[in-house]
A and B are shown apart, each in its own frame.
Chain A
């Protein structure tokens, strides 16, 4: 177990290094010039050059990347070009909001997706099954800003059940988390359905019924743990997809998380912030996958971590 964790952590570090290199290269190749953004339109060429030199942006790519990596190893994510403060402080201030949104989204998507999937599998071939699958299909294909606006219009504007935007209480969380969750719950519903149908066909389900167990016991104690295994691996990957949705949803709902931070940074070519948020998100994805792999053997004793 310890050697497994050690190997996985080394792998994770290599992955993060790779991501930092690729992101850095992409930003370097970007036609937009961060110095112009900082200096403003009226700046003279001399001012522009001096800012460029100050930020080290006149150096060749490898030198720039080397410098970034060196400070990164010392735990320094650099300073924002525009906001004049440490990137790490900006991220730390906004991370809790994003993590909360993400957690809320995962809870919602599992609740909705898994329930839909199980019900559809148990009633497969019926009207219920068909309508649930249509709903899940709509969920998967609807663009997130549309879902967000729709939910806002119905539940905040018309019904007034939830606030329109902002941050602070549980009721603030519901609509944004639901918006992020809609797409993935569609995926989960479909995956859970096929996984469950597959499990319900297995011999051990027949054995469980032959013992005289009640239908619900067979379903929850015997089928569910087996059916949920592929879903757990999916949750790890899902965190990456969630990050994409969060950027959009935080803007729609005015949620003060790192999604908004990076959205503003992209518009102003604030490279240190983009790099910082990308690395933090990548770390979240890597940790999510690691967590999923550690949870799997707790459910399935056949899986051994080596």
Chain B
């Protein structure tokens, strides 16, 4: 059969009647074979998708939402996972029972999918153009040059500038947002009936997230594509969905119009899920604003500068420099939370690493009044104890081959603070403090959930009784309900122990809930800093305004017609040697609220 015939065959089977749903899923059950027999990860799921509709499948990790989308695509990780009951009707075809050869003609052609991780979803060794053209050629009888034309058209449709030049570029030459737009172009190039988007904006920076959502919405309007949007983010649901399905533990627990579900959720779980969503502007768990204390700062950083040299040439001389952090100054007092916000590449994590003594830096860092630079090895180690870190990914930051009790005890042993015997008691106390079962000490990290693991990381950071804890995107990888509980724990620990936090995040809603003071970083420099109320009620720098505007609002009644658009890509912090970036000058606009002029 030629590709043309294949296309017609697949086209003919697509639902034609306007009233009929594009997709009709009924009684879908997906099972996964495990060591102790098969287990259902999705149970008896039924829903329909109308033409031009956006259906959100919302739920937390493990709810079965991604499995559902893979089942529709016929991409379940076989042989472990399989559809054990039910049907997925696409027109007259049951996608759950379709043999691979015929499924392949539908996949990418009539039903397309985009994924969460744009950084890894494109093949690094093939050019953008080749990957796009390949998708078009697979399903049409177009010639190479016609397919190329169509690919360029698709790139233009997703608002990629200089589309023809981009065709020759490779994925690593594009930013995350651009890559996700390429993925969307690839998915929509053949005008599919259904687009499945699995957490399409979760891995993107907030300002880029807005753009991608808007793009999806616009494309859907002009083409009438039906979208299944899989997300954990109720803000995204409110912005996008016509209808919502809420899933939990593999079952649908709620199904209805978006406005209805947000206004009057029928189940307790949905109510709790909505309540846990951090909101800007007097949301749920926002803490009282506290007057700045007058105590000596726990840590102060002044004129911090971190640069990475890029070498090249015959003699390996420094040719270019990454100006990761340029002249950053701040101080943190006991019992205070300073939030450092900005998007990927702005230098916030680098600042944290310098403060924790993990990378070389220039400038002045004082911890407990002592300058780190002038200290000997032992003294420096003692100062190190005062500053501990909790990282973003609780799955990657715990050694999988160590018992969690030993992981928490390790800092005590490294710093020779306690004997093994004393350690046990201290670790048991820490476990209790962060809300973990004491019998968990003997178990291994993989036996814990993401939230529990982050609690283990927090216990480990607290083991040395530090005065400052650096939380680097520590709640970003967690489900909202878990996130809310971990934030609550951090708050409690601060009240009890008086520990200070440097809270690094890209999520303005979370920052608004937890911080006392906020510093906004852009291209290695702080462009705005002040108390939380100053920054959030009167954001003065355009970049701060954009960050705040970009946060999706979990209220369908306040849906935005347009997201604030970027003026282009953020410039690169990599510069030629001798080409120093211009330092911004901070100006006080009242009450210690500093803004770059």
Residues of A within 8 A of B (CB): 3, 6-7, 202-204, 206-214, 217, 221-222, 225-226, 299-302, 306
Contacts and interface: CB of A to CB of B under 8 A. Distances in A.
Contacts of B115: 203, 206-207, 210
B160 to A, nearest CB: 18
B316 A212 contact: no
A299 B125 contact: yes
B121 A212 contact: no
Interface string B103-142: 0111111001101010011111111000000110011000
A212 B136 CA distance: 10
Contacts of B121: 203-204, 206-207
What is the predominant secondary structure among interface residues of chain A facing chain B? helix
A202 B31 CA distance: 23
B358 interface: no
Contacts of B124: 204, 226, 300-302
Nearest to A228: B125
Contacts of B172: 301-302
B117 A203 contact: yes
Given A202-B120, A212-B104, A302-B170, 14 more contacts: A3-B314, A7-B314, A7-B315, A203-B121, A208-B123, A209-B107, A211-B134, A214-B104, A222-B126, A226-B123, A301-B124, A301-B125, A301-B127, A302-B172
Interface of B: 73, 75, 104-109, 112-113, 115, 117, 120-127, 134-135, 138-139, 170, 172, 183, 186, 311-316
Contact of B125 (A207, A209, A212, A300): A300
Contact of B120 (A6, A204, A213, A214): A204
A306 B316 CA distance: 8
Nearest to A209: B75
Nearest to B120: A203
Which 7 A-B pairs give the minimum distances between C-beta atoms? A212-B108, A211-B108, A212-B107, A203-B120, A3-B314, A306-B312, A204-B123
A226 B170 CA distance: 14
Contacts of B170: 301-302
Contacts, number: 80
Contact of A206 (B75, B109, B112): B75
Contacts of B311: 306
A151 to B, nearest CB: 37
Contacts of B75: 206, 209-210
A124 B192 CA distance: 34
A210 B113 contact: yes
B349 to A, nearest CB: 22
B282 to A, nearest CB: 39
Contacts of B73: 210
Nearest to A2: B314
Contact of A210 (B107, B123, B139, B312): B107
A209 B138 CA distance: 11
A214 B312 CA distance: 42
Contacts of B127: 301
Contacts of B183: 207
A231 to B, nearest CB: 14
Contacts of B316: 7
A219 to B, nearest CB: 13
B108 A210 contact: yes
A208 B123 CA distance: 8
Contacts of A209: 75, 107
A210 B190 CA distance: 13
B312 A3 contact: yes
A271 B113 CA distance: 68
Contacts of B120: 202-204
Contacts of B122: 204, 207
A213 B134 contact: yes
B203 to A, nearest CB: 11
Contacts of B112: 210
12 contacts: A203-B120, A206-B115, A209-B75, A209-B107, A210-B112, A210-B113, A211-B107, A212-B106, A212-B135, A221-B134, A226-B124, A306-B313
